[in-house]
């Protein structure tokens, strides 16, 4: 170091300190990173100019090349090719799983993460940073137009990936359940709804607690309870292309022979267990639709009736059995 300018040496040291802090300790704000980066390059160049009479030609060339190299490295660290590659990975991975119907939250992203933030159109950078409590150069104002959502992926309180998704041109969107944040946890899932060439990844809880009269039970999180004042419960799916529904009501009495006489029953089973008498009926409605009914007889009598297209009946049968297994009396 003795034959180098002190200024040039300071510039090189400043560059390494800047890079180490930004990469391994704390992501620096743009203004600080750029300002300190310019200062480190300026020190190297000024040191070269001050020493130009003393330096041989080869040394001058080395100093110039060093200044260019540090400029290149500063730019590379600032852009972060790993960050750009992660963006590419995420987009390609999501496009590759659009053929599925349901995935775990962790399956959406091809690497480990803690949470996802979805910024809707016209969300300012300041608002995003306030919501996620992180400042990062990789967060941008989502003010292109009302056609874009910005997806921000966070790990260890750092932004590790962020990109824009066109709501009209890209083939997928991501929809959090309530707030803008999706946590990477095991009790939630994504259902993938298809709308032409578009695929909507909608977040839902796996299960939810429900109650009716003197029973409580667990239902899949994809079912919604309709607000009504009728003497029964009505549940539907949050899917515009799916008209399946389920009702739950209390029966004043149940005599099997009388109950069955006007039904076009395709299949029936006795599922009685140690707690309840349970009767299952698959009923034909028309050539496309069926009803699956389960009567539960204990201190009270309840009827679960799920109406759907035939092709979805096997899936709903399993869901109905899980609901019945979860019933508890208040």
DSSP per-residue string spanning 107-118: GGSSS--SEEEE
Q: What is the mean pLDDT of residues 288-301?
A: 95
Q: What is the mean pLDDT of residues 83-110?
A: 94
Distance between start and end Cα atoms, the chain: 81
Choose between 63 and 197: higher pLDDT.
197
Residue pair 160/84 in contact (Cβ under 8 Å)? The answer is no
The side-by-side arrangement of strands in the sheet containing 102-104 is 102-104, 188-195, 198-205, 172-175
Selection from 154, 195, 192 nearest residue 175 by Cα: 192
**Residues composing the chain:** 330
Highest mean pLDDT out of 101-105, 143-147, 196-200: 101-105
Residue pair 226/236 in contact (Cβ under 8 Å)? The answer is yes
pLDDT at position 70 is 60
Residue 37: CB atoms within 10 A of its CB come to 23
Read off the pTM: 0.70
Domain with CATH 3.40.1000.10 in the chain: 207-329
Q: What is the mean pLDDT of residues 272-288?
A: 95
Q: What are phi and psi of 308, to 5 degrees?
A: -155, 175
Pick the CATH number of 207-329 from 2.40.50.140, 2.30.30.100, 3.40.1000.10, 3.40.50.720: 3.40.1000.10
pLDDT at position 3 is 44
Selection from 116, 105, 118, 131 nearest residue 203 by Cα: 105
Residue whose token pair is 């297994």: 325
Q: Does the pLDDT at position 198 exceed 60? A: yes
Find the range with the poorest average confidence among 39-43, 181-185, 243-247.
Answer: 39-43
Confidence of residue 78 (pLDDT cuts 50, 70, 90): low
Distance (Å, whole) CA 123 – CA 137: 16
Residue pair 204/189 in contact (Cβ under 8 Å)? The answer is yes
Residue pair 301/281 in contact (Cβ under 8 Å)? The answer is no
Q: Which two tokens stand for residue 102?
A: 């349901």
Q: What is the mean pLDDT of residues 90-107?
A: 95
Supply angle C-alpha 9, 13, 15, rounded to 5: 115
Residue whose token pair is 């990062």: 136
In a 10 Å sphere around its CB, with 0-12 CB exposed, 13-18 middle and 19+ buried, how is residue 50 labelled?
Answer: middle
pLDDT at position 271 is 95
In a 10 Å sphere around its CB, with 0-12 CB exposed, 13-18 middle and 19+ buried, how is residue 257 labelled?
Answer: exposed
């Amino acid at each position: 170091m003795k034959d180098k300018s002190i200024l040039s040496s300071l510039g090189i040291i400043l560059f390494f300190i800047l890079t180490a802090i930004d990469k391994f300790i704390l992501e620096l704000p743009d203004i600080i990173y750029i300002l300190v980066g310019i200062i480190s390059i300026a020190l190297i160049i000024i040191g070269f100019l001050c020493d130009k009479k003393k330096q041989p030609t080869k040394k001058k060339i080395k100093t110039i090349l060093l200044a260019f190299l540090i400029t290149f490295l500063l730019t590379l660290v600032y852009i972060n090719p790993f960050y750009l590659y992660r963006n590419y990975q995420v987009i390609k991975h999501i496009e590759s799983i659009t053929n599925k119907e349901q995935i775990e939250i962790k399956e959406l992203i091809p690497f480990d993460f803690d949470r996802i933030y979805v910024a809707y159109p016209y969300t300012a950078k300041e608002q995003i940073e306030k919501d996620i409590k992180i400042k990062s150069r990789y967060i941008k104002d989502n003010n292109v137009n009302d056609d874009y959502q910005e997806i921000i992926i966070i790990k260890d309180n750092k932004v590790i990936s962020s990109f824009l998704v066109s709501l009209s041109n890209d083939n997928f969107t991501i929809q959090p359940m309530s707030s803008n944040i999706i946590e990477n946890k095991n009790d939630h899932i994504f259902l993938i709804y298809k709308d032409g060439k578009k695929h909507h990844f909608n977040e839902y809880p796996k299960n939810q607690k429900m109650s009716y009269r003197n029973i409580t039970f667990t239902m899949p999180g994809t079912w919604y309870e309709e607000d009504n004042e009728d003497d029964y419960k009505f549940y539907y799916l949050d899917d515009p292309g799916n008209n399946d529904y389920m009702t739950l009501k209390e029966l004043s009495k149940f005599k099997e022979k009388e109950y069955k006489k006007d039904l076009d029953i395709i299949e029936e089973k006795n599922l009685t267990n140690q707690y309840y008498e349970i009767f299952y009926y698959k009923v034909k409605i028309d050539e496309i639709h069926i009803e699956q009914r389960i009567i539960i007889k204990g201190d009270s009598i309840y009827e679960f009736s799920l109406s759907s297209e035939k092709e979805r009946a096997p899936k709903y049968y399993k869901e109905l059995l899980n609901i019945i297994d979860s019933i508890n009396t208040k």
